[in-house]
């Protein structure tokens, strides 16, 4: 039996490097040498215990790696190919898959479900969720395709165009990439809320027209001043919690669009009359699938490889897998200056 290293949650704010069995890919799956993996906000939710932790398998889904082994029946990829991995597999046969909404697949399985994800030396992923990357793309860029695809979809769910003023709540990875995707889409004006200096600095570099530090400025007043009291055409909420939902509703114009792409853990007391009176459209954005004719993953790959989104600007820290404990500690505390923390192998 050969073994490999895998970083596995062992309790609240605890993760440890363990020696686990290396398994060859099952039929339909692909064995991947995980080269670089980002720590996602959702990984931190597991780390803090807001979401379930697997105590048997490594998490990690923002992964770029090299194909090493093909499971039975896999076609279209070869050992040596550089790939990015969607967080979930899909069946291709159910109602939602057939309609082009494969992110709602009735048989969708998370990458780390009964297999090790990207916080391990090797991961097994289903062929349905794999995208071959251009050779010119670095491992670091490849590991940023997944979160950019999340943000790209949120901008797509809002149908944001050159006519729209777009506000983004939250200066973390998903907020920053939503900003970058909105800028790349050529929207009229962008505003983003931030809490930390590194978030403000990055947002300016990514082309934000207005950066609102919520510790120092009043968001509603800023938007009123900017729009003559009208409100934003589009608001993308990336943080979660009732305060942020209310903030989004307070700055969207009548008939505007609000897209929620955040982790909401608890039922909230919210004022729904705002939706009634404003006729604002409020919708969610769930991972990625198709936006128009293209998958959000293909769009994200194109945005990065064309240089339209300078994705690696988000990576503030890089650690070897051996330093996973430190990597999580830094990622969990944004006062460290962290935006995106990567594990490299
Ligand atoms: Zn993620
Ligand atoms: Zn399906």
Give the tens place of pLDDT for each residue, 67-86. 999 999 999 999 999 999 99
- What is the whole-number distance in angstroms between the Cα of residue 59 and the centre of ligand 2? 23
pLDDT on residue 85? 97
- What is the whole-number distance in angstroms between the Cα of residue 173 and the centre of ligand 1? 9
Q: Which CATH number fits domain 3-143+310-344: 3.40.50.920, 3.90.180.10, 3.30.530.20, 3.40.630.90?
A: 3.90.180.10
- What is the whole-number distance in angstroms between the Cα of residue 81 and the centre of ligand 1? 22
- What is the whole-number distance in angstroms between the Cα of residue 149 and the centre of ligand 1? 10
Q: Where in the chain is the domain with CATH 3.40.50.720?
A: 150-284
- What is the whole-number distance in angstroms between the Cα of residue 272 and the centre of ligand 1? 29
- What is the whole-number distance in angstroms between the Cα of residue 316 and the centre of ligand 1? 16
What is the C-alpha to C-alpha distance for residues 133 and 156, in angstroms, rounded to an integer?
22
pLDDT on residue 125? 96
Q: What is the pTM of this model?
A: 0.97
**Which residues have CB under 8 Å from 35's CB, separation 6+?**
63, 64, 65, 66, 139, 142, 143, 344, 345
What is residue 114's three-state secondary structure?
coil
What is the C-alpha to C-alpha distance for residues 289 and 157, in angstroms, rounded to an integer?
11
Residue 289 · residue 117 · CB < 8 Å: no
pLDDT, tens digit, for every residue of 134-187? 999 999 999 999 999 999 999 999 999 999 999 999 999 999 999 999 999 999
pLDDT on residue 131? 98
- Surrounding ion ligand 2 within 5 Å at CB are 90-91, 94, 97, 105
- Taking only the tens of pLDDT, the chain with its 345 residues reads 799 999 999 999 999 999 999 999 999 999 999 999 999 999 999 999 988 899 999 999 999 999 999 999 999 999 999 999 999 999 999 999 999 999 999 999 998 778 899 999 999 999 999 999 999 999 999 999 999 999 999 999 999 999 999 999 999 999 999 999 999 999 999 999 999 999 999 999 999 999 999 999 999 999 999 999 999 999 999 999 888 999 999 999 999 999 999 988 888 888 899 999 999 999 999 999 999 999 999 999 999 999 999 999 999 999 999 999 999 999 999 999 999 999 999
Kindly give the residue spans of alpha helices, DSSP state H, lying in 169-323. Answer: 173-184, 197-205, 219-227, 242-251, 273-278, 296-305
What is the C-alpha to C-alpha distance for residues 297 and 294, in angstroms, rounded to an integer?
8
What is the C-alpha to C-alpha distance for residues 312 and 334, in angstroms, rounded to an integer?
18
Residue 264 · residue 239 · CB < 8 Å: no
Kindly give the residue spans of alpha helices, DSSP state H, lying in the chain. Answer: 41-47, 95-99, 139-142, 145-157, 173-184, 197-205, 219-227, 242-251, 273-278, 296-305, 324-332
Q: Can you name the residues that pair with 70 across neighbouring β-strands?
A: 30
- What is the whole-number distance in angstroms between the Cα of residue 108 and the centre of ligand 2? 7
Closest to 191 in 3D by CA, of 240, 153, 215, 225: 225
What is the C-alpha to C-alpha distance for residues 110 and 334, in angstroms, rounded to an integer?
27
- What is the whole-number distance in angstroms between the Cα of residue 58 and the centre of ligand 1? 14
pLDDT on residue 266? 83
Residue 93 · residue 40 · CB < 8 Å: no
Q: 150-284: which CATH topology?
A: Rossmann fold (3.40.50)
Residue written as token pair 């991972």: 287
Residue 208 · residue 232 · CB < 8 Å: no
Q: Where in the chain is the domain with CATH 3.90.180.10?
A: 3-143+310-344
Ligand (nearest to CA of 94): 2
Q: b or e along 140-166 (b: 16 or more beta carbons within 10 Å of the residue's beta carbon)?
A: bbbbbbbbbbbbbbbbbbbebeeebbb
- What is the whole-number distance in angstroms between the Cα of residue 276 and the centre of ligand 1? 32
pLDDT on residue 267? 86
Closest to 320 in 3D by CA, of 40, 121, 41, 58: 121
């Amino acid at each position: 039996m050969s073994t490999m290293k895998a970083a596995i949650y062992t309790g609240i704010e605890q993760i440890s490097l363990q020696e686990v069995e290396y398994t060859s890919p099952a039929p339909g799956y692909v064995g991947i040498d995980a080269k670089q993996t980002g720590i996602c906000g959702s990984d931190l939710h597991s780390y803090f215990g807001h979401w379930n932790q697997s105590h048997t398998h490594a998490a990690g889904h923002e992964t770029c790696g090299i194909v090493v082994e093909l499971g039975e029946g896999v076609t279209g990829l070869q050992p040596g190919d550089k790939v990015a991995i969607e967080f979930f597999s899909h069946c291709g046969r159910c109602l939602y898959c057939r309609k082009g909404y494969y992110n709602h697949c009735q048989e969708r399985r998370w990458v780390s479900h009964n297999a090790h994800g990207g916080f391990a030396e090797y991961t097994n992923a289903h062929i349905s969720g794999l995208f071959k990357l251009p050779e010119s793309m670095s491992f670091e860029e490849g590991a940023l395709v997944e979160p950019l695809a999340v943000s790209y979809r949120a901008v797509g769910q809002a149908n944001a165009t050159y006519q729209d003023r777009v506000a983004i709540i939250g200066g973390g990875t998903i907020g920053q990439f939503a900003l970058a995707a909105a800028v790349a889409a050529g929207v009229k004006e962008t505003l983003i809320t931030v809490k930390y200096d590194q978030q403000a600095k990055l947002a300016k570099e990514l082309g934000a027209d207005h950066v609102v530090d919520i510790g120092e400025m009043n968001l509603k007043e800023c938007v009123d001043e900017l729009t003559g009291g009208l409100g934003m055409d589009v608001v993308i909420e990336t943080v979660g919690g009732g305060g942020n939902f209310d903030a989004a509703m307070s700055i969207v114009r009548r008939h505007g669009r609000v897209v929620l792409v955040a982790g909401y853990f608890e039922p909230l007391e919210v004022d729904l009359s705002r939706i009634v009176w404003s006729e604002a459209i409020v919708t969610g954005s769930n991972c990625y699938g198709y936006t128009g004719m293209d998958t959000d993953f293909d769009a994200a790959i194109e945005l990065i490889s064309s240089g339209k989104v300078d994705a690696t600007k988000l990576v503030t820290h890089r650690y070897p897998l051996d330093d996973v404990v430190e990597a999580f500690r830094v990622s969990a505390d944004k006062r460290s200056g962290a935006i995106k923390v990567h594990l490299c192998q």
